[in-house]
Structure 1
């Protein structure tokens, strides 16, 4: 069993394969990664060379490695030529999930898989939090939490919540969740998927490949409405739960929507429950209300009562770098939304607060910044960071913008001009790689500058 890519998921897959009796053959372009694998006793082989796949039955690929667009990795192309099936750790997980012990369980464990463009991590973490609050044995894995092959064997009646990116759903040869969640869709990773159609197709595989028992689909974009239509057998088919933020849904099926700060559940033409989300501190803004609806739907699909879910929503503290309140002082709130790496996510953050001092900028993605315009009414001023800060500022139309370049300058300027009642918000609308290793490092830097200036502890 060959393994390509020796980061977290690759090493985890290698360990799991060895434990299961296979002989992993590992490869990574990085000498340091190969050295780490060898230190754990794994054999290393350059799989792209002639004869690299001799004796190999399967190739497991880490999610960051392109397998088709913009060009196939040479090792994957060699696997094709050798007739070796290509898979990833998610596919291995679904193929191997389950054991003989399950025959003694009263309730087989469930897998809830969450995908979409924005809100996957918050939705996944919130489902996990609700299930734990309800007393259910639950583990969080995939793109968040533990690697899928590192989790513990699930208990009787337990659950595994997986956050899955398009990179993971696109290649997995097995995708069989009990409950599948599609949050929303906006342009992202388009080079990796050959355009928007390929990107949506990668997400759609979660629903098309394994036939989940229950599908939860955000219908605020055409792709979501298309997916619902493909999955439903009739208008009253409540195996599909429609989710929306901002508009009322109606019909004979199962609908959950948030409007004017209230989450409402309708089923078979009747209102089943309503929750006031306005005071749920860990879920500010319409985008988080959409996440709440999706998580609520998943919990209801597993039989959790509405009041139990409501209590869990109020105790949810949110995730780092996703609408995370890092400090409050002098009537000013400081919010770290470093995960808003694309325009759609940043727009949702801008629409979540009424008056904003906006720290933004970084490595811009395709499509420009025009789609941010509906959120500009909430922005008092922008403070732009990044190596191309001047160019980014020019894309903000008539919005007052100050080129700051580095995070420290941007935070100091925003704090000096902020007034009581305002929010100093980091929502970059761009990738972090021009200045930081990842969005987490960027968010930590923002929080550290804020807390230093306020004389608070700098740790997240």
Structure 2
């Protein structure tokens, strides 16, 4: 646990008692704060009360009279489309609002003077690939013998990690919800993977979404920035952060060749290359690494390579880590192969951009897709539809989703089991049955993990294999 600093003897309210909220309450108490908690769900309040926390109805008048800070969970809206009523009351009362990420950064570096090699924080954000990139950095560091902990939006709650050892590294995956609200952001290395439309209602459009990501760099002031420049937002961000083309505090990454006097890591046609000051200093062939299929994963490999080089690892150490990486569940996860057909679970492909990248990773796809559609429609999928032999559409909006796929043969299946059965029956040797929904899961599932687990179970049932 990382005890929260700066609130000894003060009253701090915690709103939302999921994984991050309850961990924040514990860490605040460990730092000497007087913690009061609230959650709309009675069972969540009861769990916290069983640990000795005082429940206070933060919706009542005067609830914030003695409160120094409100700590809120990332899923609770604080600005758009409208602030949660509790957060609105805190703002009206002049109470500071923070989250567990802000508490972590204000507390993490206490007593670092006692270290010869202080611990460091790598923070990863972006629209797609941040989970894989974060896990990949953590894996490479661990394989190289460095102490590393994975936390934030993946792994453990950020305040629930162990105090770092000499020279240890904390790798954080940070969502836009987390970076937008955190009052303190001070990573040593910050990574921006890419940007595509997502969560636009929470940020009032693309400008607000990009601004939330940009805070990690503009206000975080990292020593080194790894910036994906395949999109104009990344190019703009890299330009803002660097003093000139040769400024190696910014490492630009891309899926196309980069040239110039700066520090670049790019992957082109499956080959990763690192260039610095006009010459190549490292390379690796990514094409035969099973845990990193497709150009989108090659971009993730570039980001992880650059971050690890920033931490002092050598090219061969990083290559060994890349080759031993097994991948994350629900992200380009190869789950089975039968009769020459490969089955891949990419349930995390919850938006159009990530689904497109999943399609482009394979030559011929039986595509299981659909769910709760997001803003923007499906037109951006067009470059990948030539890879689709047939689409099998699930979800409550299956008929409307299928109408947006006029360029391919699309069968309305509704349920996952039906879609998988149809795909297995139709698939030919050399094809891939791919779950890449291009939609949120909440119409049928609690989260994308449950959707992916259902896909795996349905595949196993269709193939006649046990778990």
Normalising by structure 2, we get a TM-score of 0.97
Deviations 1:102-156 (A, max 9, x none): 3332210000000000001000000000000110000000000000000001000
Deviations 1:150-194 (A, max 9, x none): 000100010000000000000000000000000000000000011
Take 1:86 and 1:235, find their aligned partners in 2: how far apart are those partners?
38
Of 8, 13, 18, 1:2 maps to 13
User: Does structure 1 retain, via aligned residues, the 8 Å contact 2:38–2:56?
Assistant: yes
- 1:210 — aligned with what? 220
Take 1:72 and 1:417, find their aligned partners in 2: how far apart are those partners?
48
RMSD: 0.8
Pair 1:257 & 2:292 matched:
no
Of 219, 224, 228, 2:229 maps to 219
Pair 1:123 & 2:133 matched:
yes
Take 1:28 and 1:49, find their aligned partners in 2: how far apart are those partners?
13
- 1:363 — aligned with what? 372
Pair 1:69 & 2:80 matched:
yes
- 2:280 — aligned with what? 271
Take 2:142 and 2:25, find their aligned partners in 1: how far apart are those partners?
30
Of 49, 52, 67, 1:41 maps to 52
SS in 2 for 1:57: strand
Of 171, 174, 194, 1:161 maps to 171
Structure 1 range deviating more: 43-52 or 337-346: 43-52
Deviation, 1:398, is 2.2
SS in 2 for 1:24: strand
Deviation, 1:457, is 2.9
Deviation, 1:451, is 1.3
The answer for unaligned runs of 5 or more in structure 2 is 1-11
Aligned residue runs from structure 1 range 382-393, under 5 A: 382-393=391-402
User: Does structure 1 retain, via aligned residues, the 8 Å contact 2:151–2:171?
Assistant: yes
Of 79, 91, 102, 2:90 maps to 79
Aligned residues: 456
Structure 1 residues 409 and 17, CA gap change in structure 2 (3 angstroms): same
Normalising by structure 1, we get a TM-score of 0.98
Take 2:319 and 2:31, find their aligned partners in 1: how far apart are those partners?
41
- 1:174 — aligned with what? 184
Of 228, 238, 242, 1:228 maps to 238
Deviations 1:410-456 (A, max 9, x none): 00110011010000000000011111111000000101111122232
Take 1:110 and 1:413, find their aligned partners in 2: how far apart are those partners?
49
User: Does structure 1 retain, via aligned residues, the 8 Å contact 2:385–2:407?
Assistant: no
SS in 2 for 1:359: strand
Of 324, 328, 334, 1:319 maps to 328
Aligned residue runs from structure 1 range 229-248, under 5 A: 229-245=239-255, 247-248=256-257
SS in 2 for 1:181: strand
Of 9, 18, 24, 2:29 maps to 18
